[in-house]
Amino acid sequence: MPEGQRPGRRVGRRGWPWYRAVSGLTGVTALLVATVGPLESAADTSFVAHAVAHVLLGMLGPLLLVLTAPVTLALRTLPVPAARRLSWLLARRPVRLLTEPSVAVALAVGGLWVLYLTPLYALSREHQVVHLLVHLHLLTAGYLLAAALVGPDPAPHRRSPAHRAVVLVAAVAGHDILAKYLYGHPPLGVATAAAESGAMVMYYAGDAVEVAMMVLLCADWARRGVKTPRVPARFSVGRSRLG
């Protein structure tokens, strides 16, 4: 938790920053578009529609939700006992493991390889329970990856920007290689033309989200690189007395 921030502190008179509120609303909209309505219906039969939903549900939506800083918002608005329990929970080993960048990228990108290179994708089109579980995994893994790499929420165990940059490059490579592979090797039950179009959507739209994450990570890296010179305590006390 950032220095000086207490659990249960109110957001303040000015409220939550408008850009975080916009990010949250846009993220929720992306998730709804991917899971409810025409796109969701079309995704059952169209691999292109599925690819669009995949980017919205597993990449763009989670990133926008992470940028809302929901943990910080909860810590500032929850009652003190509840905020302390949340802080305790977030510091537990299972949560720390899931937000480890290498683990998050294995769940997010590795899960996609399992989905498309096994009969799992075909099963998700036939069985509603499998379909819902796949959606849940995409959302959860996408959120964990975005939070581990570019999340603004406090994290006492956060890896260095250099470490996260390496993991992000690995994630980009894994996602792009998968998209290129699907272009020439359609998933089970998907026609070649549909696989080619869907793979292009995954590749280019996915790259757009990943470039945004790179920009955010570089900005965080730059902020961390600018250190404010510390004034020695003696000097500060002397100066205050002189004043």
Contact 107, 138 (CB under 8 A): no
Task: Identify the band that residue 56 occupies on the pLDDT scale cut at 50, 70 and 90.
Answer: very high
Residue 241 included in any domain: no
Torsion angle (degrees, nearest 10) of CA 88, 92, 98, 100: 100
Task: Identify the band that residue 4 occupies on the pLDDT scale cut at 50, 70 and 90.
Answer: very low
Residue 53 included in any domain: yes
Percent of the chain at pLDDT > 90 equals 70
Residue 200 included in any domain: yes
Q: What is the average pLDDT across 31-48?
A: 92
Residue 110 included in any domain: yes
Task: Identify the band that residue 237 occupies on the pLDDT scale cut at 50, 70 and 90.
Answer: very low
Residue 186 included in any domain: yes
Residue 12 has pLDDT above 70, yes or no: no
- pLDDT of amino acid 15: 67
Q: Would the pTM of this model clear 0.95, i.e. be above it?
A: no
Domain, as residue range, for 33: 18-224
Residue pLDDT, tens place only, 19-34: 999 999 999 999 999 9
How high is the mean pLDDT of the chain? 87
Residue 10 has pLDDT above 70, yes or no: no
Task: State how far the alpha carbon of 221 is from the alpha carbons of 93, 116, 201, 210, in Å.
Answer: 26, 34, 30, 16
Secondary element (H or E) of residue 134: helix 128-150
- pLDDT of amino acid 224: 76
Distance, CA of 48 to CA of 71 (rounded, Å)? 34
Residue 7 included in any domain: no
Distance, CA of 183 to CA of 203 (rounded, Å)? 10
Residue pLDDT, tens place only, 119-149: 999 999 999 999 999 999 999 999 999 999 9
Q: What is the average pLDDT across 197-206?
A: 96
Task: Identify the band that residue 171 occupies on the pLDDT scale cut at 50, 70 and 90.
Answer: very high
| Domains contained in the chain, number | 1
Residue 229 included in any domain: no
- pLDDT of amino acid 157: 77
- pLDDT of amino acid 241: 38
- pLDDT of amino acid 38: 93
Residue 232 included in any domain: no
> Which of 75-79, 98-102, 135-139, 155-159 holds the top average pLDDT?
135-139
Task: State how far the alpha carbon of 75 is from the alpha carbons of 34, 69, 79, 89, 153, in Å.
Answer: 29, 10, 8, 12, 10
